[in-house]
């Protein structure tokens, strides 16, 4: 475990305002503290597994964002929502540039579904994915994926991407915030950086508190709010162009959060915890309330996409 004695974004020496104590409901059932910087309000998991240690926390069949399993009803719903969201995401980023023949880098591309969707829409797309299993699944789909930063750097020198996308990736990265400088270097002139993250000030996050599934400790090292994310990126030579909501995220997250609550009552075994109909109805109600509140701009969406343009 590593303990950060300062805020990684602003350097504040007392990042000890404990916000929430959350459990790893997926794998170890260990408790992790989420702290909030007293100066810049950045929320992060502290202490956290080191870069070497974190791999052990990803070893689970339940980590479905890196697999394409379609067994349970929940997996099916997840995969279906994913398909709809993929085409929405490609359309979303298209609005931020008018040129034809765009090059795109999907940083942390997982099993390559967004890459595939982007390619179909005419993007010249490559992916970066250090997780070998996910990368090989992506490669089997026929998309181009690089697994090391060295290979990526070599490729980028020849063609700088017009778009870099990070779909629910930044919150996992030990390299944040320095990685933003690297991505800034990688991007073409006037290039667009697209970052999607869960938002820890959404209505569903407030409702579920420590059970909120998008805390996903210790895999999520950072727990962004619109302010902390945008200010840390703008500081690195970008302008903020706008944001979009991800309306399906709240449903998926609320279902998992209900499951976490049940796990806490019934002995923590993730494989044996099944949601009752009333649990599913409760989750759908909370998720809908969260989306409604976001539509009225009272609170952020459960998951949001932030768009930035390289300026310097
Ligand atoms: Zn700070």
Instruction: Give the mean pLDDT of 37-62.
Output: 89
Position 251 confidence tier, pLDDT thresholds 50, 70, 90: very high
- CA distances from residue 106 to 114, 175, 223, 236, 312 in whole angstroms, order as listed: 8, 17, 21, 20, 22
Secondary structure class of 259 (helix, strand, coil): helix
Flag the least confident range among 69-73, 148-152, 153-157, 216-220.
69-73
Which whole-number Å values give the CA distances from 150 to 65, 128, 166, 178, 220, in the listed order?
A: 25, 11, 19, 17, 25
What pLDDT does 64 receive? 47
Indicate if the pLDDT at residue 272 is higher than 80: no
> How far, in Å, from the CA of 232 to the mean position of ligand 1?
10
Confidence tier at 304 by pLDDT (50, 70, 90)? very high
Tell me how far the alpha carbon of residue 43 lies from the centroid of ligand 1, in angstroms. Answer: 8
Q: pLDDT above 90 covers what percent of the chain?
A: 75
- Which CATH code of 3.40.50.150, 3.30.110.60, 3.10.105.10, 3.30.920.30 fits the domain covering 17-310? 3.40.50.150
Return the higher-pLDDT residue of 268 and 286.
Answer: 286
DSSP state of 38: T
Which DSSP helix (H) or strand (E) runs through 245? strand 238-245
Cα 40 to ligand 1 centroid, rounded to whole Å: 4
- Tell me the average pLDDT across 187-196: 95
Distance CA 181, CA 186 (A): 9
- Return mean pLDDT, the chain: 91
Of the pLDDT bands very low, low, confident and very high (cuts 50, 70, 90), residue 277 is: very high
* CA–centroid distance, residue 23 to ligand 1 (Å): 24
Q: Residue 149: what pLDDT? A: 96
pLDDT value of residue 282: 97
The arithmetic mean of pLDDT across residues 195-217, rounded, is 98
> Cα of 3 to ligand 1 centre, how many Å?
15
Q: 83 C-alpha vs ligand 1 centroid, how far in Å?
A: 37
- CA 133 to ligand 1 center in whole angstroms: 35
Residue 66 has pLDDT above 50, yes or no: no
Question: Which tens digits make up the pLDDT trace of 71-121?
Answer: 677 777 777 878 888 989 999 988 887 766 789 999 999 999 999 999 999
Q: Where do we find the tokens 């998992």?
A: 256
- What is the token pair recorded at 52? 């070497």
What does the CA dihedral 57, 60, 66, 67 come to, rounded to 10 degrees?
170
């Amino acid at each position: 475990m590593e303990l950060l004695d300062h805020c990684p974004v602003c350097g504040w020496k007392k990042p000890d305002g404990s916000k929430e104590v959350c459990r790893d409901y997926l794998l170890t059932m260990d408790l992790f503290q989420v702290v909030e910087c007293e100066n810049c309000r950045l929320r992060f998991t502290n202490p956290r597994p080191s870069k070497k240690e974190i791999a052990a926390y990803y070893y689970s069949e339940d980590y479905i964002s890196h697999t394409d399993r379609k067994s349970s009803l929940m997996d099916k719903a997840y995969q279906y929502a994913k398909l709809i969201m993929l085409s929405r995401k490609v359309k979303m980023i298209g609005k931020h540039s008018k040129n034809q023949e765009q090059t795109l880098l999907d940083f942390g591309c997982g099993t390559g579904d967004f890459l595939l969707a982007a390619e179909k829409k005419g993007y010249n797309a490559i992916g970066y994915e250090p997780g070998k299993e996910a990368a090989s699944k992506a490669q089997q789909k026929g998309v181009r994926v690089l697994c090391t930063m060295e290979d990526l750097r070599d490729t980028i020198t020849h063609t700088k991407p017009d778009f870099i996308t990070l779909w629910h990736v930044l919150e996992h990265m030990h390299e944040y915030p320095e990685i933003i400088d690297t991505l800034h270097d990688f991007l073409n002139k006037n290039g667009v950086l697209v970052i999607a993250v869960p938002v820890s000030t959404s209505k569903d996050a407030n409702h579920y508190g420590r059970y909120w599934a998008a805390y996903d400790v210790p895999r999520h090292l950072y727990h962004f709010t619109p302010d902390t994310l945008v200010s840390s990126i703008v500081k690195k030579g970008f302008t903020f162009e706008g944001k979009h909501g991800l309306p399906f995220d709240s449903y998926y997250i609320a279902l998992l959060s209900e499951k976490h609550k049940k796990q806490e009552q019934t002995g923590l075994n993730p494989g044996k915890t099944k949601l009752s109909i009333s649990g599913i109805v409760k989750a759908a109600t909370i998720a809908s309330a969260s989306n409604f509140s976001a539509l009225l701009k009272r609170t952020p969406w459960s998951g949001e996409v932030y768009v930035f343009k390289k300026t310097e």
